[in-house]
């Protein structure tokens, strides 16, 4: 199907970014369609977070074109590192997040009741009176994307490794939330090092390398392109070919 400007939420054409003399992103060309779940794979240091920073406007491209068809205040960005104020209770952190979105306590509860599965509600009830500083890393890791997806009224979500450090059950539940956001018309861009979850849950994904950016229409496309029997093997072959 031919793409139209209406269907594209973000596109890059020959997009390049350099820190001093170091090229981080090299002549990227891509398009992200509206209403899709789009994955982003790549080695550590490939430039995934830099690309997200460009999209969110905290960095400016060195050259090339970056077209974004949504307003800046309609983008929700979850960075890789999320810090909760350690003295606040988890319930107070949630109240703060809701306040940032202009939601009353009643509106916040309605959002959570509509979108969160029972397992998330149960776990939240168990930890909501705990101070953030004593909660485990894993607890805060699942709560950050779960709260953001439920409370932020945005059309574009950018999630930088939202399931890193999250156990299997809550990884699954986060992906169910991501799919629910797609069902109501949102666009979600997700980076991850967990290849299987990208293959299973995205509409398509890009593999980011120093030489550029390749699109794959599913994990089977990735395996076929690199003549591999597993996602890990394909990833290794892709990075080895890049180095050679």
> What angle do helix axes 137-151 and 90-100 make, rounded to 10 degrees?
30
Both tokens of 35, joined, read: 């209403």
What mean pLDDT, rounded, does the chain reach? 92
Q: Which of 158, 135, 148 is nearest to 87 (CA)?
A: 135
For the CA atoms of 100, 106, 108, 112, what is the dihedral angle to 10 degrees?
180
What is the fold, at CATH topology level, of the domain defined by 8-84+156-243? Rossmann fold (3.40.50)
* Residue found under tokens 């932020």: 152
What pLDDT, on the 0 to 100 scale, is given for residue 102? 93
**Per-residue pLDDT tens digits for 89-124:** 999 999 999 999 999 999 999 999 999 999 999 999
Q: Which of 144, 233, 173, 161 is nearest to 198 (CA)?
A: 161
The set of residues, in sequence order, having a beta carbon less than 8 Å from that of 156 and lying 6+ positions away, is 9, 10, 70, 74, 75, 76, 186, 187, 188, 189
**Per-residue pLDDT tens digits for 52-99:** 999 999 999 999 999 999 999 999 999 988 889 999 999 999 999 999
């Amino acid at each position: 199907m031919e793409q139209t400007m209406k269907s594209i939420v973000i596109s890059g054409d020959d997009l390049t970014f350099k820190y001093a003399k170091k090229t981080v992103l090299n002549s990227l060309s891509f398009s992200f369609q509206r209403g899709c779940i789009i994955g982003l794979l790549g080695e550590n240091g490939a430039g995934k977070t830099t690309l997200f920073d460009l999209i969110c406007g905290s960095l400016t491209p060195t050259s090339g074109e970056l077209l974004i068809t949504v307003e800046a205040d309609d983008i929700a960005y979850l960075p890789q590192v999320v810090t909760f104020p350690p003295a606040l209770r988890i319930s107070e952190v949630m109240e703060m997040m809701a306040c940032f979105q202009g939601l009353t306590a009643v509106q916040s509860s309605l959002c959570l009741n509509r979108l969160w599965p029972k397992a998330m509600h149960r776990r939240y009830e168990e930890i909501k009176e705990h101070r953030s500083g004593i909660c485990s890393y894993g607890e805060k890791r699942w709560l950050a994307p779960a709260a953001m997806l439920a409370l932020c009224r945005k059309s574009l979500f950018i999630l930088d490794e939202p399931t890193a450090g999250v156990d299997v059950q809550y990884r699954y539940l986060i992906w169910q939330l991501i799919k629910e956001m797609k069902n109501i018309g949102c666009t979600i861009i997700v980076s991850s090092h967990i290849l299987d979850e990208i293959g299973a849950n995205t509409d398509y994904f890009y593999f980011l390398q120093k030489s550029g950016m390749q699109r794959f229409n599913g994990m089977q496309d990735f395996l076929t392109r690199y003549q591999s029997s597993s996602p890990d093997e394909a990833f290794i072959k892709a990075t080895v070919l890049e180095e050679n």
